[in-house]
Structure 1
Amino acid sequence: MASSARCEERPANRLKHEASPYLLKHATNPVDWYPWGEEAFAAAREQDKPILLSIGYLTCHWCNVMEEESFSDPQVAALINDVFIPIKVDREERPDIDQIYMKACHLLSPACGWPLTLFLSQEGKPFYAGTYIPKENRFGRIGLLNLIPRVKELWAHERESVLKSADSVNAAIISSTIQLPGGDMNGSQLDAAFLAFAQDFDTQYGGFGRSSKFPKPLNLLFLLRYWNRTGNNHALTIVDKTLEAMRQGAIYDHLGYGFHRYTTDRMWRLPHFEKMLYDQALLATAYLEAYQVTGHEKYADTAKEVLDYVLQYMTAENGGFYSAESADSEGVEGKFYLWSVKEIKNVLDQQEAAQAIRIFHIMEDGNYVEPVTGEKTGQNILFIEQGADKIAEFEKIRSKLLSARNMRQRPELDDKVLTDWNGLMIGALAKAAQVLDQPQYGKAAKHGAQFILHNLRSREGKLFHRWRGGRAGLSPTAADYSFMIWGLLELYGWDFDPTWLQHALGLHADLVENYWDEKLGGFYLTAHNTTSLLPRIKESSDTAIPSSNAVSMYNLLKLSRLTGNHAFEEMADTISSLLSPRVKDSPLAFPMLLATLDLALSPSQEVVIVGLKHADDTEKMLQALRKNYVPNAVVLFKPADEENPAINKYAEFTEFMSAIDNKATAYVCTNFKCNFPTTDPAKMLESLRTISEKPR
């Protein structure tokens, strides 16, 4: 391949010592890249140059286009090296840098995304922001060959004006990071949020919005809780239609499973093909919860397929989970996933080919439209109608096509292991083990958690953000802590090993010590002792992944109810108050916080099962809980055959609970005041329903 040839011909730049696959991909560019750090900023001051900051990630198609088209081009590189000190950042390694400069982009440009391209002062203050910039003028976009000389002129002759603009943008960024607490939130915020989500819902094709479609599983998690709270069936209809549409659409890989990142159309048929670990985790969770609500096996099947894809293609032998698979193979976006009619007929017999053409909507001139030109390519992306995957021939056709596809060059794998995203996947697998009664998923979650705790933790117990190739490194963010705690709490809910609670409480203590704002509340994204040019921010709104503060609030409420420690709930209330003004103004940006608010406003539901581990009557109790949708309950297990079980240490209120007549016994409590214990799973569920129906 061309990139391999370039690697052989060119000396490596400063990125050669980095661990990120994305940065290493640029290590043989003729651009004199620096990694983010003081060396780059010192060079900018010494050479009196502005900074070009390029932020992207390995599986981003347009990031790869810009690398191939411009950063590998000697003419462009010579211009960049002459005018700038260039810095390259992997946004997945440094979400703190990415979030600050994305704020700058929204202040400076009408269109933002990745690759994110900025010009900075020597102090790191932005004065220009954009996304993909072509080499030459094209599609109404100015090219780098024209833009860079203009910047050189501005820096030489109008620097005062440029720096004044940078100061103004920087001040606006700092101002945007200041959050003052508001009032308490209540059920009216949930009602207002539901109306906003209902209005944003695409009634024709499912999902949210009317153009590009992202999966937005966090929206669905909130809407399921809203349905559970109110009985509003329209909330459930939105979830049903969206989950169905995504599963049938081309955003789903019907041969190898897993979800692509998003589609550029509203019908879910023109995907950007990268597959992200966090999407698989959060979507699997949404399908599992929908299965609990509806009992529809198609949702359980989808969750299993997604998780099986992750275990096959995105899991390291050591137990960690890789970050993503790229959109591109052989330098072409989506090539791995697209089919011509001829290719279909070469793989299948005549009858099977006819069936496949009908099932997958395959056309002679292709059903796939090139995203930039809008022209058909002769290639087809596979999507189905409801029930098509249940016909007798489907599995045979799928298997043959998958075998043929596996002979192609697979998209590039981003094999770095990120603590925060691994926390999400650990949680999804542990939930699947509970809901589906499939222990292999729990074992994978346990293996993943053990890997993070053993390999991405310092001797002092602090987390690292990234592991790759035997190297752990990078300072953790609040998301690393909060997402891992979430995963550990789900893991405790699967095997009831108190060690997971111990680890969760230990990580929470580190999080509070190093990230909590003692004055206004909330967690900063970066630690107190972090030295950085950038202002510290508190994540509030969700993106494709939930904000660290929303997940922390969720964890605090769960920990409060698991342990009986009300200090956790008070801290959660502080986060709620801090974020309330923004939630009231823009509910669509806060689905995770809204789902957590439902938990906060609901009567507490603590269930303690006292029995013999793995005994039939214990398993019946647990399965009754796990097959039903009780999102606001916390479940603890106390082994009846241990004199002083470890759970008593973490949940003192369980100390005097015992089994009745040597049978598995459920204690259903609200605010730690318990109903009469029962050995009947049906009576246990009835007690939970009674609690949930109390006025809120």
Structure 2
Amino acid sequence: MTTNSIPNRLIAEKSPYLLQHAYNPVKWFPWSEEAFDTARRENKPIFLSIGYSTCHWCHVMAHESFEDDEVAELLNRDYIAVKVDREERPDVDNLYMSVCQALTGQGGWPLTIVMTPEKKPFFAGTYFPKGRKYGRKGLMELLPQLTGKWKEDPERVVELSNQVVSETQSRLIANLEGDISEESLEQAYQIYEELFDSQYGGFGDAPKFPTSHNLSFLLRYYKRTNNEHALAIVEKTLDSMYRGGMYDHVGFGFARYSTDEKWLVPHFEKMLYDNALLTMTNIEAYQVTGKKQYAEVAEQIITYVLRDMTDAGGAFYSAEDADSEGEEGKFYIWIPSEINQVLGDEEGELYCSVYDITDEGNFEGQSIPNLIQWTLEDAARLKQIPLKELTRRLETSRKKLFEYRGQRIHPHKDDKILTSWNGLMIMALAKAAKALQKQEYALAARRAVDFILKELRREDGRLLARYRDGQAAFLGYLDDYAFVVWGLIELYEATFELELLQAAVELNEEMLRLFWDKEKGGCFFYGEDGEQLFTRPKEIYDGAMPSGNSAAALNMAKLASYTYNAKLSQKADEQLKAFAGSVQKYPSGHALFMMALDYTVSAPMEIVLAGDPAKADMQEMIAKLQTQFLPNAIMMLHPKGEQGDAVRRLIPLVQDKVQLGGRATAYVCENFACHSPTTDLEELEDLNA
């Protein structure tokens, strides 16, 4: 294993992932025309490696192969090697991941592609060791074989690459149009019910991903149908995820996924998007059930994000690694003697017994803190300690352990700022600000909005995708626009600052101009002004992270309601129709799309609040409404004076809705009919009923 003293071309990049490879003996290129021109000139295939900085198996492949002189010699002699950070270039990643899935039936990172200088792939896979291992070919065997095919029968290689491109295009471009209705909501629920793991929560077998937007859909389904089992699925899954080792019980925040069915052993990396989405769903579960645990989990996630994942400028970092000191999970695991050293014997034994920290261990001889064996209520009863006292003692211990853990070598932090993931965190903070009536969450979200609009938006208004080390780069993708607009709409409803809704309208208009498919409807993943790859895909699957097209459908439906824009309402309908056929094939794989559908087919609810937002009666009315679970309502504020004039221009709905008798007044319109205006808070007690 070696690293060079002289860096390769990646040294000039900003991506933490690319910089991790800047001193490899492999002569990496970033994705660039220079790389492809060089490949054409030297008649060499491209070896494309895609990953991200907190990816465990990316690290493994780097140490085994890309830091190895023998592998580097083969790559440098026979290939042009290109490194891509999937989080900077999701357009490249999405496209070639589709290739890998089509050719191999599976995907993941690191993603390994071999392709022509024209960017047409003819080989795909994920992790490869240096030598044959785990039943996989090694690079030392594979690279010469592919080189041989390239040199011996180049026409066959080009023919194969054209076939791969054609197959990938047919998979990605085809819009399966159709009609979609409330029946699809029922079909999605039935699939979730079948997949639900009643013993451990979640869906299917290991590995288990949080995909909390599935649960958010089920909360809406419960609201629509009063189906108690839908709510039970949500509660069982949220409770199990929190009690498991996938949750960091010492420092807060969720890991990316669980490797086992019990949620015990995580893949330890923490991603901003997971924690944003889990904040959203825990907040919604709190609104539906009133159970404080969900609010507390959401607040703990936010504590983690604001403490550890927030830039000085107010935006949010991307991820924290699974590894530290070259070992996965080392930062997060414990042995009893270490706990006792920090807490003393009495409190140490209590903490270890509650959180399953044993001499035998539950992870490679050490222990991941978890509550799988019992709830705190169970522990308090069995140990005959009042719950309040037990909770206090455990929290005191947690703080000491957190401080002690801080002296360990921390996992690598990917401190780049991604516009799309920040949009999701803004959305989550805004939801928390409303449900918990915590202004500080809205202020944190607003700081992130201001950062994006200042640092990640060009003078011509074009969003950019990534910021790091003073530089913004890469034309924004659909997800950047859709998730930021989602965040802006939620934050408007948390603060009623009109410029937020205005920004949402403007960015949505630009999104449609740049990404809309004028022939078949729906939005392409990258803009018409972006680098044109061998096909222009449209993503609709709501996987670990929801699809930008799904978020766009929800945004357009809401903005059309706010602005009374008939053309935008039609676009929202076209968006749903464009993907209806794809969604009908597997409705449970499209949870956020289902949430957008639920919004459009539900009886619309519009709530106009007229009065002075600075007065106590209006603040009380706002709180009464914001804390309720009203996913299919839009809420707006109509003040007097010049502010009211500006609101009326953007939101025609408020036009004739004025304050009555000098008191805060609510106008609630449902299913195209308005109730009598009211100043009585009791009448607004439960609009869910």
Q: Residues 364 and 378 of structure 1 are in contact (CA less than 8 Å); yes or no, is this contact kept in structure 2?
A: yes
User: Superposed, which structure 2 residues align to 1:208-287 within 5 Å?
Assistant: 208-287=203-282
CA 1:15–1:643: 2 relative to 1, 3 Å: closer
Q: Partner of 1:386 in structure 2? A: 375
Structure 1 residues 66-75 or 260-269, which shifts more?
66-75
Q: Which residue of 1 aligns with 2:383?
A: none
Q: Which runs of 5+ in 1 are unaligned?
A: 369-376, 691-696
Is 1:418 the counterpart of 2:422? The answer is no
Aligned partners of 1:630, 1:328: CA distance in 2, in Å?
41
Distance 2:129 2:460 in 1: 47
Asked whether the 8 Å contact 1:207–1:215 carries over to 2, the reply is: yes
- Tell me which residue corresponds to 2:181: 186
Residue range with higher mean Cα deviation, 484-493 or 562-571: 562-571
SS in 2 for 1:646: helix
What is the deviation of 1:148? 1.1
Correspondence for 1:321 among 308, 316, 319: 316
Q: 1:138 aligns with which of 120, 133, 139?
A: 133
CA distance in 1 between partners of 2:466 and 2:171 (Å): 28
- From 142, 151, 154, the equivalent of 1:156 is 151
Q: Secondary structure at the residue paired with 1:676?
A: coil
Query: Take 2:196 and 2:78, find their aligned partners in 1: how far apart are those partners?
Result: 47
Distance 2:331 2:301 in 1: 18
Residue aligning to 1:357:
352
3-state SS, counterpart of residue 322 of structure 1: coil
Matched residues in 2 for 1:146 and 1:643: separation?
Answer: 70
2:570 corresponds to: 570
The residue type equivalent to 1:56 in the other structure is: G
Q: Does 1:646 align with 2:646?
A: yes
**1:552 match: secondary structure:** helix
Q: State the one-letter code of the partner of 2:222.
A: W
| Contact 2:219 2:234 (C-alpha < 8 Å) held by counterparts | yes
Aligned to 2:283: 288
Partner of 2:636, secondary structure, is strand
> What SS does structure 1 have at the residue aligned with 2:109?
coil
Q: Distance in 2 between matches of 1:345 and 1:407?
A: 17
Distance 1:110 1:502 in 2: 44
Q: What is the match of residue 116 of structure 2? A: 121
Question: CA offsets, 1:476-524, max 9 Å, x none?
Answer: 1011111100011111011101000111111111111111111111111
Q: 1:347 matched to which residue of 2?
A: 342
Are the counterparts in 1 of residues 208 and 259 from structure 2 also a CA contact under 8 Å? Answer: yes
Q: CA-to-partner distance for each residue in 1:619-639, whole Å, 9 max, x for gaps?
A: 221122122211100000011
The answer to whether structure 1 residue 168 and structure 2 residue 163 are counterparts is yes
How much does 1:656 deviate?
2.1
The answer for the alignment partner of 2:545 in structure 1 is 545
Per-residue CA deviation, residues 21-59 of structure 1 (Å, 9 max, x unaligned), is 100111111101111121111111111111111000000
**1:412-456 per-position Cα deviation (integer Å, ceiling 9, x unaligned):** 110000111000001111111111011111100000000000111
Q: Is the partner of 2:415 in helix, strand or coil?
A: strand
Deviations 1:321-358 (A, max 9, x none): 00011111111111100112222222121111211221
Once the two structures are TM-superposed, the CA of residue 641 in structure 1 deviates from its matched residue by 5.5
Q: 8 Å contact 2:179–2:581 — kept in the other structure?
A: no
Task: Give the secondary structure class of the aligned counterpart of 1:657.
Answer: coil
How far is the alpha carbon of 1:161 from its aligned partner?
2.8
Range 523-532 or range 215-224, more displaced: 523-532
Query: Shift in Å at residue 365 of structure 1?
Result: 2.4
Report how far residue 689 of structure 1 moved.
4.7
Specify the code of the residue in structure 1 equivalent to 2:420.
Answer: D
Residues in 2 aligned to 1:607 and 1:643: alpha-carbon distance in whole angstroms: 18
Q: Distance in 1 between matches of 2:400 and 2:86?
A: 38
1:604-659 CA-partner distances (Å, limit 9, x unpaired): 11100011113221122112212221110000001146574321111122122111
Whether 1:333 and 2:341 are equivalent positions in the alignment is no
Taking the aligned partners of 2:454 and 2:611, their CA distance within structure 1 comes to: 31
Q: What is aligned with 2:384?
A: none
Q: Which moved more, 1:562-571 or 1:576-585?
A: 562-571
Residue 645 of structure 2 aligns to a residue in which SS? coil
Q: 1:156 to 1:303 in 2, by over 3 A?
A: same
CA distance in 1, matches of 2:437, 2:530: 43
Cα distance 1:342–1:610, how it changes in 2: closer, same or farther (>3 A)?
A: same
Give the TM-score taking structure 1 as reference length.
0.95
8 Å CA contact 2:521–2:574 kept in 1: the answer is: yes
Q: Does residue 487 in structure 1 map to residue 487 in structure 2?
A: yes
d(CA) in 2 for partners of 1:230, 1:110: 37
What displacement does 1:672 show? 5.7
Q: CA distance change for structure 1 residues 643 and 206 in 2, over 3 Å: closer, same or farther? A: closer
Percent same amino acid among aligned pairs?
A: 43
> Which segment drifts farther, 471-480 or 181-190?
181-190
Alignment of 1:683 with 2:683, yes or no, is yes
Q: Distance in 2 between matches of 1:312 and 1:366?
A: 29
Does 2:36 align with 1:41? Answer: yes
What secondary structure, in the 3-state scheme, does the structure 2 residue paired with 1:668 have?
strand
* Residues 165 and 534, structure 2, Cα contact 8 Å, conserved in 1: no
What is the TM-score normalised by the length of structure 2? 0.96
**Contact 1:105–1:130, Cα closer than 8 Å, also in 2:** yes
**d(CA) in 1 for partners of 2:469 and 2:41?**
35
Which whole-Å CA distance do the structure 2 matches of 1:111 and 1:71 have between them?
Answer: 23
Q: Report what 1:509 is aligned to.
A: 509
Q: CA deviation at 1:681?
A: 2.4
Task: Quote the residue 1:108 is aligned against.
Answer: 103
> What SS class does the counterpart of residue 298 from structure 1 fall into?
helix
> 1:590-609, aligned counterparts within 5 Å?
590-609=590-609
| Equivalent position SS for 2:416 | strand
**1:685 Cα offset (Å):** 5.0
1:182 partner letter: E
**Residue identity in the other structure for 1:395:** E
Which one-letter code corresponds to 1:503 in the other structure? A
Q: Mark the CA change 1:643 to 1:280 in structure 2 (over 3 Å): closer, same or farther.
A: closer
Tell me the residue number matched to 2:7. Answer: 12
Q: Which moved more, 1:408-417 or 1:161-170?
A: 161-170
Match of residue 53, structure 1, among 31, 34, 48: 48
Matched-pair contact (CA < 8 Å) for 2:437–2:627: no
Which letter does structure 2 place at the counterpart of 1:455? Answer: E
Contact 1:653 1:672 (8 Å CA) reproduced: no
Cα distance in 2 for partners of 1:543, 1:17 equals 33
CA distance in 1, matches of 2:215, 2:155: 49
Letter in 2 for 1:482: A
The one-letter code matched in structure 2 to 1:207 is G
Contact 1:10 1:29 in 2 (8 A): no
Report if the CA contact (8 A) 1:608-1:638 is conserved: yes
1-side partners of 2:259 and 2:597: how far apart?
A: 32
Cα distance in 1 between the residues matched to 2:477 and 2:642: 39
Residue 360 (structure 1) shift: 1.3
Quote the residue 1:374 is aligned against: none
| Secondary structure in 2 matching 1:465 | strand
**Alignment correspondent of 1:371:** none
Q: Deviations over 1:517-561 (max 9, x none)?
A: 111111111111223233111111112111111100100111111
Secondary structure of 1:474's partner?
A: strand
Q: What does residue 86 of structure 2 align with? A: 91
Distance of 1:50 and 1:124 partners within structure 2:
9
Amino acid at match of 1:184: D
Kindly indicate whether the alpha-carbon contact (under 8 Å) linking 1:564 and 1:672 is maintained by their aligned counterparts in 2.
Answer: no
Q: Call closer, same or farther: CA 1:62–1:122 in 2, change over 3 Å.
A: same
CA spacing shift, 1:311–1:599, aligned 2, 3 Å:
same
- TM-align CA RMSD: 1.5
Letter of the 1:44 partner, please give it. A
SS state of the match for residue 434, structure 2?
helix
Alpha-carbon separation, structure 1, partners of 2:175 and 2:42? 41
Q: Which runs of 5+ in 2 are unaligned?
A: 381-386
